């Protein structure tokens, strides 16, 4: 577009007005300078391609699979240790993410089809249990899974249950099963992330027009044929949306590698380089970040391409009627209760384990040692009495307080502009406000660290400038990473409000500013508040930037460190001692319980306000 | 009468789609002007360009002689009533109607007087404190009208304002709207796809097709003297036959369709040309009309059905695939299917035009 045409389009008095120009271009410039520029300039400077020649980073030989499972027997004890493969840092990240995605997709979509497509006794319990793992408790959930399956001389929790209840009384043998290395990370990620596919598939199932299913039933389609021919094609977009998100989350997950003490993943390499300021490795880490970014975006692009060809699910005329489910047969009941329920329960274990650990002194052996009744809340009291932990809570609230102002203002502007502006740049803003959801947080953290070390507006964003530079950088990162929730929520509210309501006001002589104040805000405030609430909770639960940039201000032994809650969770779950008597992990669990309560409350309020189920999940 | 609105050679594209292909028209002050046409013909786009919600790619719009092409909608002095009425759900009836007056910064007492007066005029008194969701469809429509009329606009633009109502209410409100327009003397531009609505309401009609205006004129002119094949076929209950001109005069033409010859009014046909013949269904009889030139049509009845005010008969023309639809008066004994019959149709109701493939295709799609 020529400059003259651009000028004509932007400043045309009937096409645009000052308000819409500001609403569109201010957030656009903000995102371009604060997100796209640091990201591109760092990623495109990747030069460390020697990583592909180093076996530590990429090992495609058969040796990589030589030690997947170890099996030995000692007297009447059977010891099975699942270790997984070792394809090197890059290979592990990508292949593990693929396997996690496939497994989570299979599990999540199966559970969703059972819960969303069939009516049976206990359906509500299944549905509620499947939601539990959605409550984010970074690091602590992985820690609980590790407690269940870690290699130990005696029983871990899983082996304790298997041996004490099944193999010892029935066979007279003790079975010790443990998961470590890549297998441990894989297990933790599948259990943590499968509900994302579940909730997206469930949302897709809920959107199916009942008449489509009824027509198929009417023509004689039953059972698996009905599922495969009619239901599955209609819910593929939902499944794909969930799967691509799981793939990204698996790639960027740093909790699994840290807790299972197996560091051969890209995410850990990137994390380490920022958190420990390993500046000599920047060229190599930039390359690893680029690989992570490309790997994360590839399935997204493929999925979009695939979905753009498949809009037939919505071709039905008239208002869709929701489908209330088919009655489950006796075989279905057996499948549901013997296979699906144990899987759902297994996935909910971390959250229940966190609650138990929060009221325990420690969890070292097979079972946790519960606190005596009079000291039940010791770990919760420690959150306020131990300075380093209290500081992390205050830090989080302080960062949130600043970030949310920008998120609310820019989010509303961008959400409104993407829905209403018909100016050059509107589509770009639409894309850019969704993009942060697909960019691994560690890539953002690394890019910020490198870019703002060089260009920092006189130290304002300098990561070496403690505390101010670090604080500003954290707030900027939170705004950029979490603004999509507010933008999407506002966008949905605006798009659901007929534009004629605004045009009617304009037609009566009202300027856009007044239209916004009198018509748009009163009709869309629910969406705005719902978006702000969601953004807030995801700021509090943000991991990648918090544990990297947030680590630059010292650790939680220090009373004036700059780390937020998730940083404290990481430190508490990985440290061996801390004042206060109980195990640091127990204190982490108490902090995680508070976070989960907050998440559950906010997501419930937000869903009610927006009058819809939330299928957006992130880390 | 002075010109209220002038649209000059307006072109509008949406991506690859051309919505308006160079539309020009003049609307006079105080008239109720209807823009009529099938879905997708560009009528709403034209109205939105007059209102200022869309900008033409080229061409100009004048209101009372002033070029308003680049004037934003809030400064045009036109007020629009939308198809879905666009009532603000968070405001009461009173607040909805008072909104425009408040923008004009009138004293509160004046606002109250005007709002109540307008509500009174539209039969809405007593509903001031209700929210739109507490009103019936007809009441909501009236509130939308009240909100527009209360600011005394120079031009009122209406985009299918009755299309969301049931048939009976639509008829009633149609009458009320016409009365109101005459009483207030306001210029109204009324977009509709319903030809009956346009015919009954408008002083003049612009019939649109495919981003262009086919014909502008009074309802009776458009109906009785259609200049184009599309105008003739679109208005009324019509049938279309294709044939060949056997003989052509200035006013009349003889067209052979299948095995019969039909005399029609000539619209530019020459002997030997292909012809598209449009036959309006009404006025058909089973015997010649007295004192009126009629045309005999012979064929086999395929369908005969009672539709309330008349009997609809479909007649297959011998030697062709065409059927002619005719409306017979109820007092005529209707022939049954399979019967070979002769009908008489007034010559005024039969028009023949040169064949335009795209128009014929469009008419067939709408049938």
Domain at B98, CATH number: 3.40.50.300
Distance of alpha carbon B352 from alpha carbon A6, whole angstroms: 50
pLDDT tens for each residue of A50-79: 888 888 999 988 888 888 999 999 888 899
Domain assignment present for B230: no
Asked if residue A214 has pLDDT above 80, the reply is no
Mean pLDDT over residues A173-190, rounded?
Answer: 94
3-state secondary structure B325-338: EEEECCCCCCCCCC
Mean pLDDT over residues A413-440, rounded?
Answer: 91
Which pLDDT band holds residue B35 (cuts at 50, 70, 90)?
very high
Question: Is B131 in the A-facing interface, judged by CB distances under 8 Å?
Answer: no
Give yes or no: residues B300 and B328 share one domain. yes
Query: Which domains can be identified in chain A, with CATH numbers?
Result: 17-41+377-610 (1.10.3720.10), 86-139+180-370 (1.10.3720.10)
Extract the tokens encoding B345.
């149709």
Considering only CB atoms, B55 lies closest to which of A14, A500, A510, namely A14
Mean pLDDT over residues B28-55, rounded?
Answer: 94
Residue finishing a domain among B196, B224, B252: B224
Residue A521 CA to its chain's centroid (Å): 30
The answer to whether the Cβ–Cβ distance between A523 and B51 falls below 8 Å is no
The answer to whether the Cβ–Cβ distance between A507 and B79 falls below 8 Å is yes
pLDDT of residue B118: 93
Give yes or no: residues B275 and B182 share one domain. no
The answer to whether the Cβ–Cβ distance between A523 and B75 falls below 8 Å is no
Give yes or no: residues B191 and B258 share one domain. no
Contacts of A538 (CB under 8 A, 6+ apart): A481, A482, A485, A618
Mean pLDDT over residues B169-191, rounded?
Answer: 89
Give yes or no: residues B361 and B270 share one domain. yes
Give yes or no: residues B357 and B314 share one domain. yes
CA distance A69 to chain B (A): 60
Asked if residue B231 has pLDDT above 60, the reply is yes
The answer to whether the Cβ–Cβ distance between B74 and A12 falls below 8 Å is no
pLDDT tens for each residue of A231-276: 888 888 889 989 999 999 999 999 999 999 999 999 999 999 888 8
CA distance A520 to chain B (A): 10
Give yes or no: residues B300 and B159 share one domain. no
Residue finishing a domain among B204, B224, B244: B224
Helices A441-454 and A468-495: crossing angle, nearest 10°?
A: 130
Residue A561 three-state SS: coil
pLDDT tens for each residue of A358-405: 999 988 877 888 999 889 999 999 999 999 999 999 999 999 999 999
Extract the tokens encoding A103.
């497994």
Pairing of strands B187-192, B32-36: parallel
Q: E strands along A367-499, which residues?
A: 369-370
Cα distances (angstroms) measured from residue B142 to each of A193, B94, B98, B123, B150: 54, 12, 14, 8, 12
Question: Is B337 in the A-facing interface, judged by CB distances under 8 Å?
Answer: no
Domain assignment present for B231: no
In degrees and rounded to multiples of 5, residue B300 shows phi and psi of: -110, 130
Give yes or no: residues B199 and B240 share one domain. no
The answer to whether the Cβ–Cβ distance between A13 and B79 falls below 8 Å is no
Domain assignment present for B131: yes
Answer positive or negative: Cα dihedral of B247, B252, B257, B262.
negative
* Contacts with A5 from chain B: Cβ below 8 Å: none
Asked if residue A123 has pLDDT above 60, the reply is yes
* Contacts with A506 from chain B: Cβ below 8 Å: 53, 72-74
End-to-end CA distance of chain A: 39
B13, B63, B74: best to mutate for the A interface, most A CBs within 10 A: B74
B84, B86, B115, B148: best to mutate for the A interface, most A CBs within 10 A: B86
What value, to the nearest 5°, has the Cα angle with vertex A129 and ends A128 and A132?
95
Residue A167 three-state SS: helix
The answer to whether the Cβ–Cβ distance between B100 and A509 falls below 8 Å is yes
Residue finishing a domain among B165, B192, B224: B224
Domain assignment present for B265: yes
pLDDT tens for each residue of A197-213: 988 898 888 888 777 78
DSSP B156: E
pLDDT of residue A468: 93
Considering only CB atoms, A505 lies closest to which of B78, B99, B157, namely B99
Domain assignment present for B229: no
Top mean pLDDT of A282-286, A575-579, A613-617 is at A282-286
Query: If you average pLDDT over every residue of chain A, what do you get?
Result: 88
Distance of alpha carbon A141 from alpha carbon A353, whole angstroms: 8
Q: Cβ(B203)–Cβ(B7) under 8 Å?
A: no
A8, A14, A499: best to mutate for the B interface, most B CBs within 10 A: A14
What percent of chain A clears pLDDT 90, i.e. is strictly above it?
53
DSSP A62: G
Q: Quick check: ipTM above 0.90?
A: no
DSSP B266-284: ESS--TT-EEEEEEESTT-
Contacts of A567 (CB under 8 A, 6+ apart): A392, A546, A547, A550, A551, A556, A561
Asked if residue A102 has pLDDT above 60, the reply is yes
The answer to whether the Cβ–Cβ distance between A507 and B51 falls below 8 Å is yes
Give yes or no: residues B217 and B109 share one domain. yes
pLDDT tens for each residue of A269-324: 999 988 887 767 788 889 999 999 999 999 888 887 776 554 444 444 455 566 77
Give yes or no: residues B181 and B103 share one domain. yes
Asked if residue B222 has pLDDT above 60, the reply is yes
Distance of alpha carbon A170 from alpha carbon A167, whole angstroms: 5
Asked if residue A422 has pLDDT above 60, the reply is yes
Domain assignment present for B346: yes
- Of B280, B273, B234, B281, the C-alpha closest to B255 is B273
Q: Which domain, by its residues, includes B338?
A: 236-366
Residue A257 CA to its chain's centroid (Å): 16
The answer to whether the Cβ–Cβ distance between B80 and A13 falls below 8 Å is no
Distance of alpha carbon B324 from alpha carbon B184, whole angstroms: 44
Q: Out of A112-126, A313-327, B253-267, which region has the weakest mean confidence (pLDDT)?
A: A313-327
Question: Is B147 in the A-facing interface, judged by CB distances under 8 Å?
Answer: yes
Number of domains in chain B: 2
Cβ contacts below 8 Å, chain A against chain B, sum to 77
pLDDT of residue B132: 92
Query: If you average pLDDT over every residue of chain B, what do you get?
Result: 92
Give yes or no: residues B295 and B202 share one domain. no
Asked if residue A579 has pLDDT above 70, the reply is no
According to DSSP H, which parts of A227-340 are helical?
A: 232-252, 255-259, 266-275, 282-308, 330-335
């Amino acid at each position: 577009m020529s400059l003259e045409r651009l000028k004509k389009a932007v400043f045309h008095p009937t096409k645009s007005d000052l308000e819409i120009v500001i609403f569109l271009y201010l957030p656009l410039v903000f995102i371009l300078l604060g997100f796209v520029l640091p990201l591109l300039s760092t990623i495109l400077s990747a030069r460390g391609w020697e990583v592909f020649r180093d076996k530590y980073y990429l090992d495609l030989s058969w040796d990589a699979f030589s030690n997947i499972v170890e099996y030995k027997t000692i007297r009447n004890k059977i010891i099975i240790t699942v270790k997984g493969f070792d394809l090197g840092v890059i290979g592990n990240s990508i292949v593990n993410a693929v396997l996690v995605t496939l497994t989570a997709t299979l599990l999540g979509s199966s559970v969703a089809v059972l819960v969303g497509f069939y009516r049976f006794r206990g359906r509500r319990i299944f549905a509620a249990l499947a939601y539990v793992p959605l409550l984010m408790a970074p690091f602590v959930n992985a820690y609980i899974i590790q407690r269940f399956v870690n290699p130990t001389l005696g029983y871990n929790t899983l082996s304790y249950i298997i041996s004490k209840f099944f193999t010892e009384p029935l066979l007279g043998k003790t079975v010790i099963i443990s998961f470590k290395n890549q297998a441990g990370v894989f297990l933790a990620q599948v259990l943590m992330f499968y509900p994302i596919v579940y909730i997206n598939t469930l949302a897709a199932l809920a959107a199916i027009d009942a008449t489509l299913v009824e027509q198929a039933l009417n023509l004689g389609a039953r059972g698996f044929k009905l599922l495969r021919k009619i239901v599955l094609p209609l819910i593929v977009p939902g499944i794909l949306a969930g799967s691509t998100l799981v793939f990204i989350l698996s790639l960027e997950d740093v909790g699994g590698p840290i807790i299972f003490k197996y560091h051969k993943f890209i995410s850990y390499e990137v994390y380490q380089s920022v958190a420990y300021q390993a500046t000599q490795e920047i060229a190599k880490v930039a390359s690893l970040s680029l690989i992570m970014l490309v790997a994360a975006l590839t399935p997204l692009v493929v999925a979009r391409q695939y979905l753009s060809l498949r809009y037939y699910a919505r071709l039905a005329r008239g208002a869709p009627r929701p489908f209330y489910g088919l009655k489950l047969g006796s075989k279905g009941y057996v499948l549901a209760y013997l296979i699906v329920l144990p899987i759902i329960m297994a996935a909910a274990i971390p959250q229940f384990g966190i609650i138990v650990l929060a009221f325990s002194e420690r969890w070292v052996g097979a079972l946790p040692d519960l606190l005596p009744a009079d000291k039940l809340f010791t770990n919760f009291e420690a959150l306020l009495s131990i300075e380093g932990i209290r500081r992390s809570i205050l830090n989080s609230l302080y960062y949130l307080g600043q970030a949310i102002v920008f998120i609310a203002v820019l989010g509303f502007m961008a959400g409104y502009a993407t829905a209403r502006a018909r100016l050059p740049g509107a589509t770009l803003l639409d894309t850019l406000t969704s993009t942060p959801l697909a960019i691994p947080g560690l890539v953002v953290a690394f890019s910020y660290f490198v870019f703002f070390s060089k260009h920092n507006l006189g130290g304002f964003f300098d990561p070496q400038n403690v505390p101010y530079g670090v604080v500003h950088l954290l707030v900027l990162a939170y705004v950029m990473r979490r603004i999509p929730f507010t933008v999407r929520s506002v966008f949905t509210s605006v798009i659901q409000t007929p534009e004629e309501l605004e045009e009617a006001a304009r037609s009566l002589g009202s300027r856009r500013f007044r239209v916004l104040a009198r018509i748009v805000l009163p009709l869309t405030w629910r969406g705005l508040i719902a978006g702000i609430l969601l953004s807030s909770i995801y700021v509090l639960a943000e991991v990648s930037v918090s544990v990297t940039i947030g680590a630059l201000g010292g650790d939680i032994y220090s009373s004036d460190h700059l780390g937020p809650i998730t940083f404290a969770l990481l430190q508490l779950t990985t440290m061996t001692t801390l004042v206060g008597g109980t195990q640091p992990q127990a204190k982490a669990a108490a902090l995680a319980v508070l976070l989960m309560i907050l998440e559950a409350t906010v997501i419930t309020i937000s869903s009610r306000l927006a009058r819809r189920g939330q299928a957006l999940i992130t880390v | 009468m002075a010109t209220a609105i002038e649209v000059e050679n307006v072109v509008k594209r949406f991506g690859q789609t051309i919505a308006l292909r160079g539309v020009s028209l003049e609307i006079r002050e105080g008239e109720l002007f209807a823009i009529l046409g099938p879905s997708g013909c560009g009528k709403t786009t034209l109205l939105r360009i007059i209102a200022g919600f869309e900008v033409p790619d080229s061409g100009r719009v004048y209101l009372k002689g002033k070029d308003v092409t680049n004037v934003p909608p809030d400064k045009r002095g036109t007020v629009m009533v939308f198809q879905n009425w666009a009532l603000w759900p968070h405001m009461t009836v009173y607040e909805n109607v008072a909104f425009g007056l408040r923008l004009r910064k009138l004293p509160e007492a004046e606002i109250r007087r005007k709002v109540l007066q307008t509500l009174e005029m539209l039969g809405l008194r007593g509903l001031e404190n209700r929210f739109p969701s507490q009103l019936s469809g007809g009441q909501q429509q009236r509130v939308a009208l009240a909100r527009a009329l209360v600011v005394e606009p120079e031009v009122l633009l209406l985009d299918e304002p009755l299309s969301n109502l049931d048939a009976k209410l639509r008829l009633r409100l149609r009458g009320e709207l016409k009365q109101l327009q005459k009483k207030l003397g306001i210029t109204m531009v009324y977009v509709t796809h319903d030809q009956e609505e346009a015919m009954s309401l408008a002083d003049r009609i612009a019939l649109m097709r495919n981003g262009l205006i086919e014909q502008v004129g009074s309802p009776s002119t458009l109906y009785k003297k259609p200049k184009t094949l599309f105008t003739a076929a679109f208005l009324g209950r019509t049938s279309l036959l294709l044939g060949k001109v056997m003989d052509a005069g200035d006013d009349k033409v003889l067209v052979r369709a299948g095995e019969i010859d039909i005399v029609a009014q000539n619209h530019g046909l020459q002997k030997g040309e292909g012809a598209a013949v449009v036959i309006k269904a009404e006025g058909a009889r089973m015997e010649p009309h007295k004192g009126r030139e009629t045309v005999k049509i012979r064929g086999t009845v395929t369908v005969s059905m009672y539709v309330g005010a008349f009997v609809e008969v479909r007649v297959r023309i011998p030697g062709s695939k065409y059927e002619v639809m005719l409306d017979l008066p109820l007092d005529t004994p209707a022939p049954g299917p399979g019967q070979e019959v002769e009908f008489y149709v007034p010559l005024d109701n039969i028009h023949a035009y040169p064949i335009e493939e795209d128009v014929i295709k469009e008419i067939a799609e709408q049938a």
